[in-house]
Chains A and B, each alone.
Chain A
């Protein structure tokens, strides 16, 4: 390359700046679902997938219709939603509260962070018998299990989010003589909100998992009880109908959080 480069036709500079910026592409998710379900339907109809491996999606839909018409859907769904709502709101509220306290006070942090780290890896399902002894076989033990399972990930996400709040904004608040309470409410909490909400996404998925686990152990009605019963009878249609309900629940909760994010975090984009 010691010679001066010969004059050549100009080459356009190659574009290499794209990507790394997810944009909303709503329909893609729907298409993936439709393709998968169509494949399952075709496969089971042709006999390419045996009826013992997977139920026909159309049969699952029919089971769903029966559930709806017989009123059983409501009977199973209502108690489940109640448990989820009570358990998850207790867990998330206490989790956010404790997380903020850990984020703000050195002594609370020093005392509770190791405790939370010790509690986090315990599979909460393993504690269900303990909760039954403590809170009885009724609703209370189910609430406790779900609350406990939501609590730990929420705490960790919340104090991380509080730690990440821009210190210069807090200094600004102090320099204008804002009260401690104002600084927490108007600067720390909104600043931590993105982290808290993304933590909540994970916590709520965990809450659904624990809901089913709790209901499998002792409930007459509930999605978990329904799935357990179907499973023990190897009734794949009903099993799948139950699983679909759980998935839908997950999707709906995630959409709700998405809505909250758009409302509360509109300032980000």
Chain B
């Protein structure tokens, strides 16, 4: 299933946040959205996931979600959004219960997803007992278990330290290689974008417009920390963003 944004514009009151965004998120690809702070990346993701309605334009689903998909558009949040009163398993089963998946059947698929996200030993831990990286892995496990057609990830790694971030990026690459998933991935970290993105969309400062779309053909598995060709793409992206970021930064001062 693909997601298509058809000339999306969005305003909050008098503030225009997004202007005329048209974009495709094709099946099995990771599309990274980068842009200066406050340019409307999170807003765009909420529009894609149906948590908000665009002022203008439409968000379209093309094709049917895959077999056994419980929640086609599934978020992974920056702040994890785990229920602190439920264990790791409880947090994951939360999203199955409404579909009537309980008991032994739920147990077996939860165990499977925990194994995939390397959490098998922590099924009965509470969120407060976990490190940030593990919490985000739980959130990713919770997203994977509903077999999403598209994962909407809003800065999923920005709350983590850089080492954990590297490890989790490797995990994401491994997960994608095992079974390619479709994702719209918001980040302000360009290194993350060039490691994970098949397509990188650079947004301008508010109101966010598409400045450039960069395609990276190199397979995810072959990309490594500090690759020279990735670095040159990253430099190019930074060149695009630098002026925008500075202008956005100064704009915020006189709001």
Contacts and interface: CB of A to CB of B under 8 A. Distances in A.
Interface string B66-78: 0000110111010
A218 B75 CA distance: 61
A232 interface: no
Contact of A179 (B73, B79, B81, B98): B98
B75 A169 contact: no
A174 B51 contact: yes
A196 to B, nearest CB: 13
Interface stretch (A90-98, A127-135, A182-190, A202-210): A182-190
Contacts of B124: none
A176 B74 contact: yes
B115 to A, nearest CB: 21
Contact of B71 (A171, A177, A186): A177
A66 B84 CA distance: 51
Interface residues of B, number: 22
A81 to B, nearest CB: 32
Interface in B12-60: 49, 51
Interface string A155-191: 0000000000000110111111111001000110011
A169 B81 contact: yes
A191 B83 CA distance: 9
Contacts of B75: 172, 175-176
Nearest to A174: B51
B95 A178 contact: yes
Contacts of A171: 51, 77, 81
Nearest to B139: A172
B94 A186 contact: yes
Say what secondary structure dominates the interface of chain B.
loop
Contacts of A178: 94-95, 98
Contacts of A169: 81, 83
Interface residues of A, number: 19
B245 interface: no
B146 A267 contact: no
Nearest to A268: B84
A176 B77 contact: no
Interface of A: 168-169, 171-179, 182, 186-187, 190-191, 265, 267-268
26 contacts: A168-B77, A171-B51, A171-B77, A171-B81, A172-B75, A173-B94, A174-B51, A175-B73, A175-B74, A176-B75, A176-B94, A176-B95, A176-B98, A176-B142, A177-B70, A178-B95, A179-B98, A182-B97, A186-B83, A186-B97, A187-B83, A191-B85, A265-B85, A267-B85, A267-B128, A268-B84
State the 9 A-B residue pairs at the shortest beta-carbon distance, nearest first.
Answer: A172-B81, A267-B85, A175-B75, A176-B95, A190-B85, A177-B71, A178-B98, A168-B81, A267-B126
